[in-house]
Structure 1
Amino acid sequence: MHNIQEFLTFNSKIEHDLEHDLENKKQFSIPKIYSAKENLSKRWYVYFSFRCPKTGKLKRMQNIYGKANFYKTKEERLAILTSHRKNLLILLKKGYNPFGNNEELYNEINPPKEEKVVPKTAQKKTIEKIAKEIVLDKNIEEKPTDKRTTEYKKDINSLLINDAFEFALDLKAKVVKENTIYDYKRKSIHFTKWLAETKPEIKYISEINRQDLVSYLNSILLNTSARNHNNYRVELGSLFQVLKNNEYVKENYIIGIPILKTKPEKHKRFTEEKQIEIFNYLDKEDKIMSLFIKFVSYSLIRPVEICRLKIKDIDLENNTMQFKAKNSPLKTKIIPDILLKELPDLSKLDKETYLFSPNKFGDFWIATDNNRRDHFSKRFKIVKKHFQLDGDYTIYSFRHTFIFVLYNNLRKTKSPFEAKSELMLITGHKSMTSLEKYLRNIDAELPKDYSNLFSK
């Protein structure tokens, strides 16, 4: 039985003969395009329903994706899905039935080619000719050529580059988060475009060699940073590993490309005076941004984790909140009184809405976690401009600032070990080692004045 994807492939052959209108009950619904409200991080598709012969009711059929989700603009996706929608409607009107045998319709659209009868004498000549060519090929010494030498022979299993990445992404989608798939897809598209511009002779995934990948990552380094070089290396390497595991490439060359040293990002701590100034400014100018930063400061959770908070995640009876953390699928933290006093009235807000959105507390917001975080990062630039802060000050700087304050206040009455043990419960670090490394990075504990040690 031929599936709908095979029919849509032959769209150029379906151009007329639409005279068969529906009789009695509608046998199918008009195909529609699902565009996820133009969210390009989600999958777009064509969907329709067909009347089930057993139940007599319309039943939703399998979604039709084609290759639409490979593209990153809504115009490109709509162009492909509109074509699929149009051709699907034509097929349905011509009698396509997903519950039946469509062999006759398939042959009508794609008639089998007639085999030509070759005389025996002609067959003999053809065989002899092929035999001579094989002998000649063996005796010809290979000469240098401008064409790419095939390190791997292209066979029936070779995949075009776009198809190979789509295959790897489909498999990865089963085991990683949606945001990760979005990053994989974005980087694979960037790499594919680079190949098309710099090495147009490469068509198949098996033709890509180590030097191609080195050249590409070098271009990332030259145009951006070592950190980006490493990020592209990791994510492309993950896709190539899927292709190697499925024998579409012989080696994952990216594994052998070294990781570059990077300068760690600095998030300068604020002085107490500057922190108070910023809070006072935001309380007047931007209450949403003010509460967002107070969540970072008082609850000590990361900006992207705050962006995931929905109204239903806030438990005011127990003064706790739950969220998806960096090192845990579901983390519970207390909401300290200092933060509870800052919360708006949540009782009338929809439980499924996000606590933080661009225009108000408790609103639906269709965007990825990273896009939500980037929104508030850009919003904080207004604050930086107002206070003339340099690039080392970020929203994350508030987390460093308040952990520094907490630790030094704990140290006034406790030993270093006792202070760290209590602080670890507050910050959510999983081990003492990771907390100690974090405290060293932010210079949380400084020695006392040691001037007397220089005297004889």
Structure 2
Amino acid sequence: MKKSDPIKVVHRNDHSSLEIFVAKKRYSKPKLFTPKVDGKPSVAPGQYWYVYFWWRKNPEGPFDYQPRFKRNLNYLKTVKERKAAGNLMAEQYHEALKKGWNPETKSISGSSRRKKIVSLKDALQYAFDIKKKGKSQPTVDGYKFHLDRFNEWSSTNGISGMDVKQFGIDHFYEFWDWLRFEYIKDDKQPLSGTSINNHKRSLSALFSTMKNERLINDNFIIGIPLEDEDPQNNKAFTPEELVKVIKTLSSDDPYMIPIVQLIFYALLRPREVLRLRIQDLNTEDWLLEVKTKTESRSRRRIIEKIKPAIQALDIKGKPGHYHVFTYWNEPGVWEPKKLKTKVDTMGRRFSEVKNKLGFGREYGLYSIRHTAIMDLYQSYLNDGLAEHEIYPKLMGHTGHRSIEGVKKYLRQYSYALPPDHSDVYSIDI
């Protein structure tokens, strides 16, 4: 007699007899149905996988009901994935049956989406749906881009259907190595250290959400060391180089000049400039408001050097909701699905000029902002200010939230160089 079988003890009036009945189990053990072609498991179209078991509608009758459950099993692309997810589903249904679940009257999932989470892929999607609430579209796009690439790898390697609690740090290092040593972009180049680290940051954020939601016990990604990053992306121009860029823009694409000036003098990022609407520019008090990377709305002073560019813009009398800059070179409503489309469009226009001057891929529209910060830093040094005096001044201009953020920025782009120390040496050689 199996320990799990319920026992009925029936007492008769006659104290000389005792009858014991072993009740029939109402269900068979759930199994994964694996369709086969030529004797081998198949994921071909029309070959459906599902978990099934037998059930007695009458507790004392025969097995007469066979429920089948597919859920999202057939969306998985490989045999390995479907086996992992299907066997896990079978275990979960078995546990539910042992706890008294009746497949005739109620769903195992109930109304809770959490109970439907079976696999690593399901859990990550659940975390993503939570994480994206309240985030800006670029941030959401970043999470999705990195999650899609992880899903591409996990699906190919038969891991996406794995129980999320079984996915460990060794599995993640396999993905990490794939990014570092195997992944090749469309331009035949490997991923940069910065790109690899951005994958880690996005996925770590999702794993932290899964931990907070009690889907996993630990976010082990957070402790994995970052790759060395290439600081050459968006390298700053020298003052002489920037003069050449402006001169060429004046003849080839003058519409780009006020965009460059706002990046340089207001220290806005390209995407922040392209977010600007006419209502964001206050030409009476000479202030502008813009949604930034670190704040929902940030106020900036329109300094004297940029006033002529603002005055030259054709914004007078235009509706306040019009965007200041558009690809057709005048204010209007320019709202593609993604802000990145606007940034890429203007970035390509700038690239035509910088490529003409012989600047490589390490230079871009963002380089203008780095150039401005480098110029301010160097000017403060020339004025005799010590570094600890410069940091808070720069913080007021750049929008960083902390002195440490300013220091990290300067270290990353190698701006924080010590002054000439020739007079310190006591030996001449």
Alpha-carbon offset, residue 191 of structure 1? 1.9
1:352 partner letter: H
Q: 2:303: which partner in 1?
A: 336
1:455 partner letter: D
For 1:340-374, what per-residue CA distance to the aligned partner results, in whole angstroms no more than 9, with x for missing partners? Answer: 21231211323112222222232222243334333
In the alignment, structure 1 residue 401 sits paired with structure 2 residue 374:
no
**In structure 2, which of residues 327, 335, 342 is the aligned counterpart of residue 372 of structure 1?**
342
**TM-score normalised to the size of structure 1?**
0.60
CA distance in 1, matches of 2:218, 2:389: 51
**TM-score normalised to the size of structure 2?**
0.63
For 1:15-65, what per-residue CA distance to the aligned partner results, in whole angstroms no more than 9, with x for missing partners? Answer: xxxxxxxxxxxxxxxxxxxxxxxxxxxxxxxxxxxxxxxxxxxxxxxxxxx
In the alignment, structure 1 residue 262 sits paired with structure 2 residue 229:
yes
CA distance in 2, matches of 1:201, 1:170: 17
Alpha-carbon offset, residue 174 of structure 1? 2.8
Alpha-carbon offset, residue 455 of structure 1? 2.8
Alpha-carbon offset, residue 276 of structure 1? 1.9
**In structure 2, which of residues 321, 345, 351 is the aligned counterpart of residue 381 of structure 1?**
351
Q: 1:241: which partner in 2?
A: 208
2:118 is paired with a residue of what secondary structure?
A: coil
CA distance in 2, matches of 1:293, 1:263: 24
Alpha-carbon offset, residue 173 of structure 1? 2.7
User: Is the contact made by 1:266 and 1:392 (CA closer than 8 Å) also made in structure 2?
Assistant: yes
2:196 partner letter: H
Mean CA deviation greater in 355-364 or 307-316: 355-364
CA distance in 2, matches of 1:245, 1:420: 36
For 1:132-166, what per-residue CA distance to the aligned partner results, in whole angstroms no more than 9, with x for missing partners? Answer: xxxxxxxxxxxxxxx86989994254424443333
**In structure 2, which of residues 404, 420, 424 is the aligned counterpart of residue 447 of structure 1?**
420
**In structure 1, which of residues 359, 363, 372 is the aligned counterpart of residue 332 of structure 2?**
363
Q: How does 1:115-194 map to 2 (within 5 A)?
A: 116-117=57-58, 154-155=91-92, 157=115, 158-194=117-153
2:361 is paired with a residue of what secondary structure?
A: coil
In the alignment, structure 1 residue 349 sits paired with structure 2 residue 318:
yes
CA distance in 2, matches of 1:201, 1:422: 49
**In structure 2, which of residues 235, 239, 242 is the aligned counterpart of residue 272 of structure 1?**
239
CA distance in 2, matches of 1:360, 1:351: 17
Q: 2:264: which partner in 1?
A: 297
In the alignment, structure 1 residue 252 sits paired with structure 2 residue 189:
no
User: Is the contact made by 1:295 and 1:306 (CA closer than 8 Å) also made in structure 2?
Assistant: yes
Q: How does 1:300-315 map to 2 (within 5 A)?
A: 300-315=267-282
1:321 is paired with a residue of what secondary structure?
A: strand
User: Is the contact made by 1:152 and 1:206 (CA closer than 8 Å) also made in structure 2?
Assistant: no
For 1:371-400, what per-residue CA distance to the aligned partner results, in whole angstroms no more than 9, with x for missing partners? Answer: 433333333221221001123333233233
2:288 partner letter: M
CA distance in 1, matches of 2:362, 2:173: 31
Alpha-carbon offset, residue 270 of structure 1? 2.7
Alpha-carbon offset, residue 322 of structure 1? 0.8
For the aligned residue pairs, the C-alpha RMSD in angstroms reads 3.6
Q: 1:210: which partner in 2?
A: 169
For structure 1, list consecutive stretches of 5 or more residues without a partner in the other structure.
1-113, 124-146
Q: 1:132: which partner in 2?
A: none
1:447 partner letter: D
Q: 2:32: which partner in 1?
A: none
CA distance in 1, matches of 2:309, 2:60: 91
User: Is the contact made by 1:159 and 1:206 (CA closer than 8 Å) also made in structure 2?
Assistant: no
For structure 2, list consecutive stretches of 5 or more residues without a partner in the other structure.
1-54, 64-82, 94-114, 184-190
CA distance in 2, matches of 1:242, 1:206: 14
1:288 partner letter: Y
Alpha-carbon offset, residue 182 of structure 1? 2.3
Alpha-carbon offset, residue 250 of structure 1? 4.1
2:155 partner letter: A
Alpha-carbon offset, residue 291 of structure 1? 1.6
CA distance in 2, matches of 1:232, 1:397: 23
For 1:76-111, what per-residue CA distance to the aligned partner results, in whole angstroms no more than 9, with x for missing partners? Answer: xxxxxxxxxxxxxxxxxxxxxxxxxxxxxxxxxxxx
1:333 is paired with a residue of what secondary structure?
A: strand
Q: 1:129: which partner in 2?
A: none
**Given the superposition, is the C-alpha separation of residues 356 and 200 from structure 1 closer, same or farther in structure 2, using an over 3 Å criterion?**
same
CA distance in 2, matches of 1:342, 1:202: 56
1:337 partner letter: E
Aligned residue pair count: 320
**Given the superposition, is the C-alpha separation of residues 285 and 350 from structure 1 closer, same or farther in structure 2, using an over 3 Å criterion?**
farther
CA distance in 2, matches of 1:186, 1:201: 16
Alpha-carbon offset, residue 318 of structure 1? 0.8
**Given the superposition, is the C-alpha separation of residues 183 and 403 from structure 1 closer, same or farther in structure 2, using an over 3 Å criterion?**
closer
Alpha-carbon offset, residue 283 of structure 1? 1.9
Q: Percent identity?
A: 24
2:357 partner letter: F
In the alignment, structure 1 residue 322 sits paired with structure 2 residue 289:
yes
